[in-house]
């Protein structure tokens, strides 16, 4: 079945460590997104990519980095510069076609600081 796979489901980060969250989709979608959600809060956009080898900063990009070398993959690195990384991270994608396509989500990754 087509879908978005995020891994790992749970991740722990030590102080000063960079960690990478994986997001893979087999939906042949062009656009991919990373969001952060804190408890009781809404989704905040970190980065998004509309095509391969191109990406744009969202509202809270500081302390994060991404790459989009393949259409299927959009990994997110949480760097040591992100001082408060504990959150629920959600990856999403949108298909081709006219504006009006909804986003599809992976199951999310919960990141905590050790």
Partner 1 sequence: RKEVEQDPGPFNVPEGATVAFNCTYSNSASQSFFWYRQDCRKEPKLLMSVYSSGNEDGRFTAQLNRASQYISLLIRDSKLSDSATYLCVVNAGNNRKLIWGLGTSLAVNP
Find the part of the chain contacting partner 1 (CB under 8 A) among 7-15, 60-68, 69-77, 104-112: 104-112
9: Cβ–Cβ under 8 A, 6 or more apart, which residues?
A: 107, 108, 109, 110
Find the part of the chain contacting partner 1 (CB under 8 A) among 14-22, 60-68, 73-81, 97-105: 97-105
**Tokens matching residue 5:** 């796979």
Query: What distance lies between CA 61 and its chain's CA centroid?
Result: 11
Asked if 80 interacts with partner 1 (CB under 8 A), we say: no
Helix/strand/coil percentages in the chain, nearest 5: 0, 50, 50
Asked if 108 interacts with partner 1 (CB under 8 A), we say: yes
Find the part of the chain contacting partner 1 (CB under 8 A) among 8-16, 18-26, 70-78, 103-111: 103-111
Q: Whose Cβ is closer to partner 1: residue 35's or residue 64's? A: 35
**Tokens matching residue 108:** 């999310």
Task: Please identify which residue in the block is written with the tokens 């042949």.
Answer: 28
Kindly write out the interface string for residues 28-67 of this chain, putting x where it contacts partner 1 by CB under 8 A and - elsewhere.
Answer: ---x-x-x-----xxx-x--x-x-----------------
Beta bridge partner(s), residue 64: 78
In 3D, which of 23, 10, 9, 31 has the Cα closest to residue 76?
A: 23
- The binding site for partner 1 (CB under 8 A) comprises 31, 33, 35, 41-43, 45, 48, 50, 88, 90, 94, 99-108
């Amino acid at each position: 079945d087509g879908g978005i796979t995020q891994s790992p489901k749970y991740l722990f980060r030590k102080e000063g460590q960079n960690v990478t969250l994986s997001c893979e989709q087999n939906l042949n979608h062009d656009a991919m997104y990373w969001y952060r959600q804190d408890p009781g809060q809404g989704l905040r956009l970190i980065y998004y990519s509309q095509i391969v080898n191109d990406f744009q900063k969202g509202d809270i990009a500081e302390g994060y980095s991404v790459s989009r070398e393949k259409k299927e993959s959009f990994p997110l690195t949480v760097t040591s510069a992100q001082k408060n990384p504990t959150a629920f991270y959600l990856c999403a994608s949108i298909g081709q076609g006219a504006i009006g396509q909804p986003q599809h989500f992976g199951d999310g990754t919960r990141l905590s600081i050790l």
